[in-house]
Amino acid sequence: MSSHWKPVEANLAEKLNDFVLSDIGDNTKAICTKPKIKCAVKPVTPAIFHSSTYEIDSIDGYLKIIQEDGYLYSRLGNPTCQAVEATMSVLEGAYGSLTFNTGMAAVSSVLFSILKSGDHVICQNPVYSGTYKLLTTYFRRLNVSVTFVGAGSPVEEWASHIKPETKLLFGETLCNPDLSILDLKAFGQLGKEKEILTVVDATFTSPILLKPLKYGIDIVIHSATKYLGGHSDLLAGIASTINQELWSELQLTRSEFGTCLSPHDASLLLRSLTTLPLRMKQHSSNAMSVAKYLESRKDKISAVYYPGLESNEGHQIAKEQMENGYSGMIAFEMKNGLEAARSLVESVKVISLGVSLGGVDSLISHPATMTHGPMIMNDEERKKARVTPGLIRLR
């Protein structure tokens, strides 16, 4: 039914009519993008449309709405969610974006729109633990096979695992939890060359620091729960694409799976997007100072992983593909392993011990027992994912 629907058109506030979108910086885009939604009043901040359903004039009117992307039922499209989608499309340089109720809803909906039984996926390892579990449990159960390649490997390594049935290359950059970097230009090129779709989870950077679609990536996903939401008070996900067909497929999947965002959370998210550029720059400069300090503590710390450090393996690629900073995520390795890691995370002040990231508050976590702990993977899998007992993640 909705295969011919289109993303809501994004343009700048009327007053900025003289400007062309491409001439304007992210700060202005994040604040001034207005979706083309018919509304009797002109609120400066888009209204929260609670309604689950919409009144139509007649039976002919119903058919007309279907043909013209109007509003029928909020699972198919909601003006408040579309305001977020329009802003994200402008920031990402996308054909269209879609909001989801969580980051995992975005990941699972994207995977379900693309994959069918018999297909093969190549994914990096480590990758977000939920994505790992989804691929190794649910998709394997549906006869989708998965090959993992070490995160930060050159694309030649990815290429060496491609088979005729390979349908999707799934990357994440910066990678969770070790912050390794994927060369997006080479990754996008590989996908195009082999006619395989590329998907990148860019939760750790946000479009302010990295715009994967610019490098030929087909779909970029964010857990908007993190930096986009930015205040640890909502769950949401977003997927953006340059491909019209993929957008339509994904919109249909979201409608049928019911993985849509609530208008209330969309409104919180919309408010957060206005400060995203400022927050990302500050997170990045704070993290750079902390990373440098940690690097100077060679007495206790054996390695610091932060893409902004010149000592970092992926620094050169990060420097080429990231803008405005290197994000607020740091990982580091305690010399004395688990003992030292436990002692540190349990004794920090101001910073809280907890999972998640991207809020204005600082959090510290111990991946080997928390996000990549026994509930998600066994010892051997943890070793392969390079999640060591002394690894700490700070943001």
Ligand X SMILES: *Cc1c(COP(=O)(O)O)cnc(C)c1O
Binding site for ligand X (CB under 6 A): 102-104, 107, 128, 130, 172, 176, 201, 203, 223, 225-226, 235, 237
Q: In the complex, what is the shortest distance from the CB of residue 237 to ligand X, in angstroms, rounded to a whole number?
A: 6
Give the residue from 204, 207, 268, 213 showing the smallest Cα distance to 236.
268
Whose CB is nearest to ligand X?
103
**What is the C-alpha separation between 85 and 97, in angstroms, rounded?**
5
How many C-beta neighbours within 10 Å does residue 372 have?
25
Helices (H), the chain: 26-32, 59-67, 79-92, 103-114, 129-133, 140-141, 155-159, 184-194, 206-209, 244-257, 263-296, 315-321, 337-347, 379-384
In the bound state with ligand X, the residue whose beta carbon lies nearer, of 83 and 224, is: 224
In the bound state with ligand X, the residue whose beta carbon lies nearer, of 133 and 319, is: 133
Q: In the complex, what is the shortest distance from the CB of residue 393 to ligand X, in angstroms, rounded to a whole number?
A: 10
Q: In the complex, what is the shortest distance from the CB of residue 356 to ligand X, in angstroms, rounded to a whole number?
A: 7
Whether the Cβ atoms of residue 99 and residue 84 lie closer than 8 Å to each other: yes
**What is the C-alpha separation between 132 and 355, in angstroms, rounded?**
17
In the bound state with ligand X, the residue whose beta carbon lies nearer, of 82 and 225, is: 225
- State both tokens at 204: 């750790």
In the bound state with ligand X, the residue whose beta carbon lies nearer, of 172 and 183, is: 172
**What is the C-alpha separation between 276 and 189, in angstroms, rounded?**
29
Catalytic annotation, pick one of 26, 183, 201, 218: 201
Whether the Cβ atoms of residue 209 and residue 180 lie closer than 8 Å to each other: no
Q: In the complex, what is the shortest distance from the CB of residue 351 to ligand X, in angstroms, rounded to a whole number?
A: 18
241 bridge partner residues: 96, 219
In the bound state with ligand X, the residue whose beta carbon lies nearer, of 237 and 328, is: 237
Catalytic annotation, pick one of 75, 133, 167, 319: 75
Q: In the complex, what is the shortest distance from the CB of residue 207 to ligand X, in angstroms, rounded to a whole number?
A: 15
Catalytic annotation, pick one of 26, 34, 71, 128: 128
Annotated catalytic residue 75 = yes
In the bound state with ligand X, the residue whose beta carbon lies nearer, of 122 and 236, is: 236
Q: What are phi and psi of 68, to 5 degrees?
A: -110, 20
Whether the Cβ atoms of residue 263 and residue 101 lie closer than 8 Å to each other: no
Annotated catalytic residue 226 = yes
Q: What are phi and psi of 390, to 5 degrees?
A: -95, 5
User: Is the backbone of residue 216 left (phi > 0), alpha (psi -120 to 50) or beta?
Assistant: left
Torsion sign over Cα 82, 88, 90, 95:
negative
Q: What are the residue numbers of the active site?
A: 75, 128, 201, 226
